[in-house]
C-alpha cells in the first residue's frame, strides 16, 4: 500500500511539472511572436516616417517645433541607408533663418538614446530630430539640445502602408494595378527592365574577374547554366566550371569528343574499368547492374556501343587534361518531359558549342533576332535522333531546340552579355542592341507573368516580362513597396 502512495505522489508531481513546463513553453512562444511582430511594426513605422519625410507626404502646416514655431522644408536632404544620420545635407527655415545639416528620424525621442546617438559625434551635425512621439529632450554628444518636431502618419496612409506590407497576396498591390495609369506603369516597367539588365551586368562582371576578362569563358558558363532551364541550372553551371572552354575549342572538329567531355563531367560516364577492354553484351549488362547497385545514376538500360565508346573516349580525355569531376550532385529528371531530358540538353549544347567556335565573338556579330535564333537551331549527333537518354531507343525525330527554349536562352544569355559588353566598353550601340532584341521578342510565359496577367498587367514583349520578373522578385517578394513607384502612387493618394 505504501508503494502505491509513493507512486501516486510522484505521478501528481510529474503531472504538475509537465503542465507547468507546457504552459511556460507556450507562453515563451507567444511572447516571442508578439515581440517579433512588435519589432517588425516598429521598424516598418520608422521606414514609413523616412518615406513621408523624403517625399513630403505630410501637411506642411503640421511641422512645428515644440514651442509651436513653423518649420519650412527647403530640401529634405539625401537619404542615407548606411551608418550615420538618416538624411544628409537637408535645408530647413525656422523664423526666417535657414539651417543646413542632417536629419535623424525615430519612432520616439527615447530611441535617440536607445541607439547611442547621444555618445556619437557623427550626430552632432543633426539640425532636427523627427519622431512620431516626442517623449523627452534630445541631447547630442557635445551637450547641446537638438530641436524636435513631431511628424504624424495620417490614418489613410497608415492603413495603405499596412495593407501593402502585411498583405497575404503574393503581389501586395494586385487589386490596385488595374486602376494605374498607362504612363505611370510603362515608365516604371522601363526602369525595372534596365535595373534587371544592370543586375545581370554586375553578375557578369564578377565572372569576368574570375576568368581574367575572358568573354568567351563567361558566355560559355552563362549559356551552359541556362541550358539547365531552371530545374538543373546549378548543376549545369558546375559542369561548365569543371570543364574549361579552351579544352572544348581544342576538339571543335570532333563532336563525339565534345559530347564525351560534357557527359563525362556531368557524371553520366562513371562505370569503372572500361578503358582498353572489350565487353560482350552480357558482361556490359552485368557491370551496368553492379554499377546501379553501388549508387551510380545508370542502370541496366544503359547498354549500347555508343555509350561504351564514349565512356572510353572520356576516360582518355579526362586523364589527358587531368580533369576533376564536379562535386556529386544529382541532375534532376523528375517531372521533365522527354524533350527536356538533361541528357538531350547536354547533347544539344555540345552540338552548339562544337559548331560555334569562339562563342562570344560569334554572337557579337549577329545583328538581329532572326540571325541569333537561326544559329541556335543545331541538330545534335545522329545517336540522339533516336534517343532521349542513354540506352533507351525511341522513334526517329528531330531534336533541334524548340523556339520557346531558344527564346529563354536569348533573354537570359545573349541580351545580358551584349548589354554588359556595351557598358564595359562604353559602346552604347551594344546596350541598345540588347534592348532592341528584348523588345522584338514575345513575352515569357511563367507563373509570375500569369499572376500579373490576372491583375490586368499584360506584357507586350520580353523587355516588359523581364521587368515584371524584376518587380516580383526584388520588390513584391521582399515587401519593398515603399521603394516601388506603384506603392508610392498608392501611398501618395492616401495622404
pLDDT above 60 (res 148): yes
| CB-based contact 189:467 (threshold 8 Å) | yes
Other C-beta atoms closer than 10 Å to the C-beta of 356 total 22
Separation of alpha carbons 27 and 482, rounded Å: 34
3-state DSSP percent of the chain in helix, strand and coil, to 5 = 55, 10, 35
Separation of alpha carbons 337 and 340, rounded Å: 5
| CB-based contact 74:97 (threshold 8 Å) | no
Rounded mean pLDDT, 458-487: 93
Q: Which of 87-91, 200-204, 348-352, 482-486 has the lowest mean pLDDT?
A: 482-486
Q: What pLDDT is recorded for position 140?
A: 94
Q: Which residue has the cell 552480357?
A: 282
Report which listed range, 85-89, 162-166, 333-337, is most confident: 85-89
Q: What pLDDT is recorded for position 482?
A: 82
Q: What pLDDT is recorded for position 384?
A: 95
| CB-based contact 196:203 (threshold 8 Å) | no
What are the pLDDT digits (tens) for 53-91? Answer: 888 888 888 898 888 889 999 999 999 988 899 999 999
Backbone φ and ψ for 51, nearest 5 degrees, come out as: -65, -45
Return the sign of the alpha-carbon dihedral for residues 172, 174, 178, 182. positive
Rounded mean pLDDT, 267-276: 59
What are the pLDDT digits (tens) for 376-429? Answer: 988 999 999 999 999 888 999 999 999 999 999 999 999 999 999 999 999 999
User: Nearest CA to 302 among 311, 313, 312?
Assistant: 311
Helix, strand, or coil (residue 148): strand
**Could you tell me the three cell numbers for 413?**
544569355
Other C-beta atoms closer than 10 Å to the C-beta of 127 total 18
Percentage above 90 pLDDT, the chain: 56
CA distance to 258, 261, 265, 275, per residue, from 323 (Å): 14, 9, 8, 16
pLDDT above 50 (res 331): yes
Q: Which of 249-253, 413-417, 485-489 has the lowest mean pLDDT?
A: 485-489
Other C-beta atoms closer than 10 Å to the C-beta of 78 total 12
pLDDT above 70 (res 40): no
Other C-beta atoms closer than 10 Å to the C-beta of 336 total 15
Separation of alpha carbons 93 and 85, rounded Å: 19
Helix, strand, or coil (residue 63): coil
pLDDT above 80 (res 205): yes
pLDDT above 50 (res 487): yes
**Could you tell me the three cell numbers for 165?**
506590407
Mean confidence (pLDDT) of the chain? 84
pLDDT above 90 (res 488): no
Separation of alpha carbons 284 and 452, rounded Å: 53
Separation of alpha carbons 457 and 75, rounded Å: 36
Separation of alpha carbons 418 and 402, rounded Å: 23
pLDDT above 90 (res 32): no
CA distance to 72, 151, 153, 298, 493, per residue, from 61 (Å): 9, 11, 14, 76, 19
Separation of alpha carbons 331 and 239, rounded Å: 11
- Spell out the domain ranges in the chain: 54-153, 211-439
pLDDT above 50 (res 439): yes
Helix, strand, or coil (residue 306): helix
What are the pLDDT digits (tens) for 280-320? Answer: 444 444 444 444 334 444 444 456 889 999 999 999 999 99
Query: pLDDT confidence of 491, banded at 50, 70, 90?
Result: confident
Rounded to two decimals, what is the model's pTM? 0.75
Q: What pLDDT is recorded for position 469?
A: 97
Query: pLDDT confidence of 454, banded at 50, 70, 90?
Result: very high
Q: What pLDDT is recorded for position 28?
A: 43
Rounded mean pLDDT, 328-333: 71
- For 201, counting Cβ atoms within 10 Å of its Cβ (0-12 exposed, 13-18 middle, 19+ buried), the class is buried
Q: What pLDDT is recorded for position 326?
A: 74
b/e sequence 42-60, b meaning 16+ C-beta within 10 Å: eebbbbbbbbbbbeebbee
Separation of alpha carbons 288 and 303, rounded Å: 8
- List, in order, residues 6 or more apart from 230 with CB less than 8 Å away: none
pLDDT above 80 (res 142): yes
Q: Which of 8-22, 29-43, 144-158, 171-185 has the lowest mean pLDDT?
A: 29-43
Q: What pLDDT is recorded for position 279?
A: 40
CA distance to 192, 279, 312, per residue, from 273 (Å): 54, 11, 9
User: Nearest CA to 324 among 257, 265, 237, 275?
Assistant: 265
| CB-based contact 352:344 (threshold 8 Å) | no
Other C-beta atoms closer than 10 Å to the C-beta of 330 total 10
Upper half-sphere CA count for residue 340 (Cβ side, 13 Å):
17
Top-confidence residue, 21 or 395: 395
Q: What pLDDT is recorded for position 27?
A: 40
Cross-strand pairs, 100:
91
pLDDT above 80 (res 191): yes
| CB-based contact 485:184 (threshold 8 Å) | yes
Q: What pLDDT is recorded for position 165?
A: 76
CA 366 to centroid of chain Cα atoms: 29
Amino acid at each position: 500500500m505504501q508503494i502505491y502512495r509513493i507512486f501516486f505522489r510522484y505521478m501528481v508531481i510529474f503531472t504538475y511539472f509537465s503542465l507547468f513546463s507546457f504552459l511556460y513553453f507556450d507562453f515563451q512562444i507567444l511572447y516571442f511572436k508578439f515581440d517579433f511582430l512588435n519589432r517588425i511594426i516598429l521598424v516598418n513605422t520608422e521606414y514609413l516616417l523616412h518615406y513621408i519625410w523624403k517625399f513630403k507626404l505630410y501637411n506642411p502646416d503640421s511641422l512645428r517645433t515644440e514651442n509651436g514655431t513653423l518649420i519650412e522644408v527647403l530640401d529634405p536632404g539625401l537619404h542615407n541607408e548606411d551608418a550615420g544620420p538618416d538624411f544628409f545635407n537637408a535645408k530647413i527655415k525656422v523664423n526666417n533663418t535657414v539651417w543646413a545639416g542632417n536629419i535623424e528620424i525615430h519612432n520616439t525621442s527615447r530611441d535617440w538614446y536607445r541607439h547611442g546617438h547621444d555618445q556619437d559625434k557623427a550626430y552632432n551635425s543633426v539640425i532636427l530630430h523627427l519622431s512620431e512621439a516626442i517623449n523627452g529632450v534630445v541631447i547630442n554628444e557635445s551637450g547641446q539640445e537638438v530641436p524636435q518636431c513631431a511628424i504624424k502618419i495620417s490614418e489613410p496612409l497608415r492603413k495603405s502602408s499596412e495593407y501593402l506590407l502585411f498583405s497575404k497576396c503574393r503581389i501586395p498591390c494586385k487589386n490596385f494595378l488595374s486602376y494605374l495609369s498607362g504612363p505611370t506603369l510603362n515608365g516604371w516597367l522601363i526602369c525595372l527592365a534596365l535595373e534587371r539588365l544592370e543586375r545581370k551586368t554586375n553578375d557578369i562582371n564578377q565572372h569576368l574577374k574570375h576568368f581574367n576578362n575572358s568573354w568567351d569563358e563567361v558566355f560559355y558558363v552563362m549559356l551552359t547554366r541556362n541550358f539547365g532551364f531552371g530545374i538543373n541550372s546549378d548543376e549545369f553551371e558546375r559542369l561548365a566550371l569543371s570543364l574549361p572552354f579552351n579544352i572544348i575549342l581544342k576538339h571543335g572538329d570532333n563532336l563525339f569528343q565534345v559530347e564525351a567531355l560534357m557527359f563525362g563531367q556531368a557524371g553520366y560516364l562513371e562505370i569503372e574499368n572500361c578503358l582498353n577492354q572489350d565487353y560482350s553484351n552480357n558482361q556490359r549488362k552485368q557491370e551496368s547492374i553492379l554499377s546501379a547497385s553501388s549508387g551510380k545514376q545508370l542502370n541496366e538500360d544503359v547498354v549500347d556501343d555508343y555509350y561504351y565508346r564514349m565512356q572510353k573516349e572520356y576516360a582518355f580525355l579526362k586523364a589527358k587534361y587531368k580533369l576533376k569531376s564536379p562535386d556529386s550532385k544529382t541532375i534532376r529528371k523528375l517531372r521533365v518531359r522527354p524533350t527536356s531530358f538533361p541528357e538531350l540538353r547536354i547533347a544539344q549544347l555540345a552540338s552548339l558549342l562544337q559548331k560555334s567556335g569562339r562563342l562570344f565573338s560569334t554572337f557579337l556579330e549577329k545583328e538581329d533576332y532572326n540571325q541569333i535564333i537561326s544559329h541556335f537551331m543545331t541538330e545534335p549527333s545522329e545517336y540522339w535522333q533516336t534517343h532521349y537518354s542513354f540506352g533507351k531507343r525511341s522513334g526517329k525525330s528531330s531534336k533541334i531546340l524548340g523556339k520557346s527554349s531558344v527564346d529563354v536562352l536569348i533573354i537570359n544569355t545573349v541580351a545580358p552579355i551584349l548589354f554588359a559588353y556595351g557598358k564595359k566598353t562604353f559602346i552604347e550601340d551594344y546596350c541598345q542592341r540588347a534592348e532592341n532584341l528584348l523588345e522584338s521578342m514575345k513575352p515569357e510565359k511563367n507563373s509570375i507573368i500569369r499572376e500579373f496577367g490576372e491583375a490586368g498587367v499584360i506584357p507586350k514583349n520580353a523587355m516588359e516580362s523581364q521587368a515584371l520578373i524584376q518587380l516580383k522578385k526584388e520588390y513584391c517578394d521582399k515587401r519593398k513597396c515603399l521603394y516601388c513607384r506603384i506603392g508610392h502612387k498608392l501611398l501618395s493618394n492616401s495622404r
